[in-house]
């Protein structure tokens, strides 16, 4: 991450509204490859914005290496619970605590997934707020659907829905990671389970690579229509972020100098404002999706962009977008 930090240091911006309280409801931690651990997260959150808490979202980290296969993802919850305990100790010196965990469970287990949900809650306690089983699928390129098991229309599968039906009774929400071609499937799922809270991650993953390379504006009208239809499901909330991933195709990660907040606003404003218009501020929350989006933008610049996008909203609406909705949805 140090090389990325050096790259990001080329763009210097003054922090906008440094006192505004922010809950970052979507970040990851991992030890393998290029590690991103608690100290790395804190280095980013210390960039000047007032981050008062965070939510960890599953990313396939620290699974158990033995025992029952279906319970191996619980290792990630064990790992993050320990990180959360450390983060609460750091709160005394101004470090933001991890307030919640969104764990992984294979919903294709059907009713048997209840054992996995129980184990997550047993080891994670009150920190475990939801489940994410990524459903992102597109036949080309495969890099964007590595968590779905390459199952087309996963959300429409009977076994998946059998497992999904266990979430509400367990008091757990569902984070939906999908691609823009699958939003209609999520609408069907949300309508079938109106009592399950669903969080729509990363704008539904509008692709800008593979067959969609350079075609962001071509798919934008259909994306807008699908998002408006999804917003009619009152059990769905929107996470606003994750739009600076490599798969979105803006190619900022290939530049000599990373983007400024003004550049991000110029390219992304339409996605944010349309989503807020559809869902309303009380059902939207800004998210960093770090360190995935860090490949394109720094933490400081990203939250500056969010604040510029939200500049026309009332103070009450801003409070919802930056912290209130996250606190409500994840029961923080």
User: What burial letters (b/e) apply to 161-189, b meaning 16+ CB within 10 Å?
Assistant: bbbbbbbbebebbbbbbbbbbbbebbbeb
Q: What is the pLDDT of residue 111?
A: 97
First vs last Cα of the chain: how many Å apart? 29
201/319 Cα distance (integer angstroms): 20
Q: What is the pLDDT of residue 1?
A: 75
Q: What pTM was estimated for this model as a whole?
A: 0.96
Q: What is the pLDDT of residue 146?
A: 57
Q: List the strands of the sheet with 236-240, edge to edge.
A: 21-27, 50-57, 98-103, 128-132, 173-176, 198-200, 236-240, 284-286
Q: What is the pLDDT of residue 142?
A: 55
For the chain, domains (ranges, CATH) are 2-9+22-329 (3.20.20.140)
Indicate the DSSP class of residue 88: H
C-beta of residue 248 within 8 angstroms of C-beta of residue 306:
no
Q: What is the pLDDT of residue 326?
A: 98
What single string gives the DSSP state of each residue in 125-171?
A: GGGEEEEE------SS-GGGGTTTTT-TTGGG-HHHHHHHTTTGGGT
Tokens 């158990």 sit on residue = 64
Inter-CA distances, 80 with 99, 125, 225, Å: 11, 12, 37
Selection from 23, 58, 200, 186 nearest residue 129 by Cα: 58
Tens-of-pLDDT digits for all 332 residues of the chain? 778 999 999 999 999 999 999 999 999 999 999 999 999 999 999 999 999 999 999 999 999 999 999 999 999 999 999 999 999 998 878 899 999 999 999 999 999 999 999 999 999 999 999 999 999 988 766 556 555 567 889 999 999 999 999 999 999 999 999 999 999 999 999 999 999 999 999 999 999 988 899 999 999 999 999 999 999 999 999 999 999 999 999 999 999 999 999 999 999 999 999 999 999 999 999 999 999 999 999 999 999 999 999 999 999 999 999 999 999 999 99
């Amino acid at each position: 991450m140090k090389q990325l930090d050096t790259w990001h240091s080329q763009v210097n911006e003054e922090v906008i509204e440094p006192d505004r309280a922010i809950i970052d409801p979507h970040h990851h931690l991992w030890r393998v490859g290029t590690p991103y651990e608690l100290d790395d997260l804190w280095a980013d959150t210390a960039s000047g914005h007032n981050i008062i808490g965070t939510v960890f979202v599953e990313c396939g980290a620290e699974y158990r290496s033995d025992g029952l296969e279906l319970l191996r993802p619980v290792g990630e919850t064990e790992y993050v619970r320990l990180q959360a305990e450390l983060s609460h100790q750091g709160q005394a010196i101004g470090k933001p605590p991890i307030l919640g965990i969104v764990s992984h469970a294979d919903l294709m287990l059907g009713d048997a997934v209840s054992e996995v949900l129980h184990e997550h809650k047993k080891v994670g306690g009150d920190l475990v707020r939801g489940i994410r089983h990524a459903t992102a699928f597109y036949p080309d390129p495969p890099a964007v659907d590595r968590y779905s098991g390459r199952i087309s229309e996963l959300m429409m599968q009977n076994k998946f829905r059998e497992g999904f039906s266990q979430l509400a009774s367990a008091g757990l929400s569902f984070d939906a990671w999908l691609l823009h071609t699958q939003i209609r499937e999520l609408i069907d799922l949300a309508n079938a389970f109106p009592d399950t809270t669903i969080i729509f991650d990363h704008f539904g993953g509008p692709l800008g690579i593979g067959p969609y390379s350079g075609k962001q504006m071509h798919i934008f009208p259909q994306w807008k229509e699908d998002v408006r239809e999804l917003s009619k499901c009152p059990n769905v909330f929107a996470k606003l972020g994750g739009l600076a991933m490599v798969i979105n195709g803006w190619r900022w990660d290939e530049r000599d100098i990373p983007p400024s907040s003004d550049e991000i606003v110029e390219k992304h404003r339409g996605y944010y404002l349309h989503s807020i218009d559809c869902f309303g501020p009380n059902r939207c929350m800004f998210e960093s999706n770090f360190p995935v989006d860090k490949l394109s933008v720094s933490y400081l610049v990203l939250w500056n962009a969010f604040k510029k996008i939200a500049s026309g909203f009332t103070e009450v609406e801003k409070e919802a977008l930056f912290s209130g909705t996250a606190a409500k949805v994840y029961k923080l």
